[in-house]
Amino acid sequence: MLKPISTPTRELVNLDGVWRFAIDSRVGDQPWTARLDTPLEAAVPASYNDLFTDAEIRDHVGWVYYQREVRVPRGWGGELIFLRFDAATHAARIYLGDTLVGEHIGGYTPFDVDITSHVEAGGAFRLTVAVSGDLSNETIPPGKIEVGMTGKRTQTYFHDFYNYAGLARSVWLYSVPTTRVDDVTVVTGFEGTTGSVDYRVALVGDAAVRVRLTDATGAVVAEGSGAAGVLEVPDVVLWKPGASYLYELTVEALHDGVVVDAYSLAVGVRTVEVRGHEFLINGEPFYFTGFGKHEDTAVRGKGHDNAYMVHDFQLMEWTGANSFRTSHYPYAEDVLDFADRRGIVVIDETAAVGLNMGVVGGMSGTPPFPTFSEQYAGAATQAAHAQHLRELIGRDKNHPSVVMWCIANEPASNEDGAREYFEPLVNLARDLDPTRPLTYSLVMFATFKNDQIVDLFDVVSMNRYYGWYISTGDLTTAEMYLQGDIQGWIDRTGKPIMMTEYGADTQPGLHSVWDQAWTEEYQTDLLAMYHRVFDRFPQFVGEQVWNFADFATSNGIHRVDGNKKGVFTRDRRPKSAALSLRRRWRGLDGRKPGAVD
């Protein structure tokens, strides 16, 4: 799926700003049929939850409405006109005036609505977007709505981060020609000093295709024609972690020799491969350093913000992080574009978090009923998960920064039914993208003895909390558990192993000379213990600390003002652990992370 951009044949109008806003319980039926009768306005992009002082809005279950007027540029006659929503969390219905023109389910992937037959160039229309933050066993992530003693509907879900909802990413109006480039897929490689860009173009309408690859100075390095082909790049400059290099591929659709559409995208030439217990980028072993993150800031919730994006990347680079995981949902497309340009490696994760009834059973990990059942993660969930994978891979397949798909976070891979649930999804992901390795982040109850799906995947990604949820405050015992756990996975799989979550909640400013949970010293010491263990295993390919920054959670007795496992606070100030990570990841203490003792 192509991101809307402006080209000689395409135009783009950004619809961000402040829109009229209401929750369903405060407006009449069918509020899209007139100007929304509301005193409220909401910022777009932003989650709506933290914008207002009203508790009823913050935890609203049901639909909310956003509305604004939109004018279509005068020069768009004869073009097709689309609305593009970069995300509407978690479901949306789009109304033009009184008419429903589109719907989408899935809160973290974009969608387009063709409105050509409803609008006129130079005309205006009332756009109402109904958005629902509801989660059920038919959504990804799953959740459950319950009606309590007060009669109020409340949303429960099986992940700790707060269920922010609304229009958290940009909204666009754009034009495209009727005969056009509909999609482009690029796969890159190299042989010696010659790179290859294998391209495939999908068209709408009948047209000839011409392609051109330019380097960073704008010089043409390869040209071709036809809807599919391979471009050779002499003296190729590879895209490398920490050293981005991007070419630009321009695709033109021609009618009788005249260019009717043009589209350009950034291309990084690089390869990714898992061989034995190694993770190779450009044929060289790669060791991941970095974080699991969240899209989360004060007031905006999950609203995309370029200032925070730039600053977060600065802080990651300052610590020496070379990668992050888009835990626990696809991030805004701008973040991946930026990662491509910064040379930061991304593990791209779906929104499938909480497919695990074991976590409801607390530390025992005993599910109250089977996770993979019609009651919870059944056929409808699986279908939603498959659709979500199609949309994620469709959106992100051309990003050089994306080196691996993470299909789920902490699913109940130890429970019966996991294999039946995951095998078709793994096959689908491999069909959609045969080039990138697949992984899933392993919950602590899923051990090397009881996990039922690891053989379907390429990389073992472990989330482990020894020293925090298990053996709290006892790093000696924690170290023994961790050592045995990693060894067990190595013995069972022979695959590359990495840690996609490890960490400790930490209250900044709290200090102790003892191993006291919540202190800055304890977070630093816990991470150092994990690193000691990692460095004993040549099969270990990476470490991503949980979490980059503190983040908002739902109310709960395990959380004080959110999850505090950040190495940075929610307003991005470093805790002591940030400095110790910087020393390790930038090699300031004289050794490279991943160098085996």
Binding site for ligand BDP (CB under 6 A): 159-160, 328, 409-410, 463, 501, 546, 563, 565
Comparison of 169 and 293: residue with beta carbon closer to ligand BDP? 293
Catalytic pick among 410, 415, 479, 520: 410
| Encoded tokens for 81 | 């006109």
Comparison of 435 and 554: residue with beta carbon closer to ligand BDP? 554
| Encoded tokens for 588 | 């300031």
Output DSSP code: residue 534: H
Edge-first strand order for the sheet with 228-233 is: 180-191, 194-204, 228-233
303: helix, strand or coil? coil
Helix (H) or strand (E) holding 525: helix 520-534
391 is catalytic: no
Dist. CA 552–CA 300, nearest whole Å = 11
Q: What share of the chain is helix, strand, coil (3-state, %, to 5)?
A: 20, 35, 45
Query: CB of residue 218 vs ligand BDP: minimum separation in angstroms?
Result: 43
- Partners of 213 in the β-ladder: 222, 249
Query: CB of residue 496 vs ligand BDP: minimum separation in angstroms?
Result: 20
Dist. CA 360–CA 366, nearest whole Å = 8
Sole residue written with tokens 């994620």? 392
**Residue 273 identity:** E
Query: CB of residue 368 vs ligand BDP: minimum separation in angstroms?
Result: 18
Comparison of 160 and 396: residue with beta carbon closer to ligand BDP? 160
Candidates 155, 143, 162; CA nearest to 563 is 162
Comparison of 157 and 245: residue with beta carbon closer to ligand BDP? 157
Catalytic pick among 252, 333, 501, 520: 501
Comparison of 43 and 442: residue with beta carbon closer to ligand BDP? 442
Output DSSP code: residue 518: B
Dist. CA 308–CA 366, nearest whole Å = 39
Comparison of 280 and 545: residue with beta carbon closer to ligand BDP? 545
**Residue 563 identity:** N
| Encoded tokens for 411 | 């699913």
Query: CB of residue 294 vs ligand BDP: minimum separation in angstroms?
Result: 9
Query: CB of residue 546 vs ligand BDP: minimum separation in angstroms?
Result: 6
Query: CB of residue 252 vs ligand BDP: minimum separation in angstroms?
Result: 44
Dist. CA 39–CA 52, nearest whole Å = 12
284 is catalytic: no
Catalytically active residues are 410, 501
